[in-house]
Structure 1
């Protein structure tokens, strides 16, 4: 049984270490050009529609979160009187 475990370890180690690596294209220069060009957009919106959606979602959550915190502070400062 111990021999089977050793064989399994060796097969697992071999398949992981000898697997071919996938070549990935370096897109950093393209992204640098996109973000450094002067097109009048703020940097947090230069990434396209996904950045705009993320920005709007973040701002919406921030506004609602601030409103909720103020509401809870008001309730803590002025608790309702029991009859």
Structure 2
């Protein structure tokens, strides 16, 4: 029983320690080079194939939100008369 608790303590100490298990590659210089090069692509699309659908979804949500705001403002400006 004590052996299992000791092993558990040792494993938990290893996972919570500040030592690094593996090296993590620094991707920042590569991303800086990609985003700073002048290739005619807009900055919001330079990230790759996943940027185009994200951009379109963002613009779609913005347009829908703007439409809802305008609708609510018009509805508030012209209240319905009670019969």
TM-score (norm 1): 0.76
Cα deviations by residue, 1:37-58 (Å, 9 ceiling, x for unpaired): 1110111110012111111111
Quote the RMSD (CA, aligned, Å): 2.6
**In structure 1, what is the equivalent of residue 14 of structure 2?**
15
State the alpha-carbon separation in 2 of the partners of residues 27 and 13 from structure 1. 30
**Which residue is 1:32 aligned to?**
32
Deviation string 1:32-76 (CA, Å, 9 cap, x unpaired) is 111111110111110012111111111110110000000001111
In the alignment, what sits opposite 2:63?
63
User: What is the total number of aligned residue pairs between the two structures?
Assistant: 79
CA gap 1:62/1:26 in 2 versus in 1, 3 angstroms: same
| The 10-residue stretch of structure 1 (36-45 or 10-19) with the greater mean CA deviation from structure 2 | 10-19
TM superposition shift of 1:11: 4.0
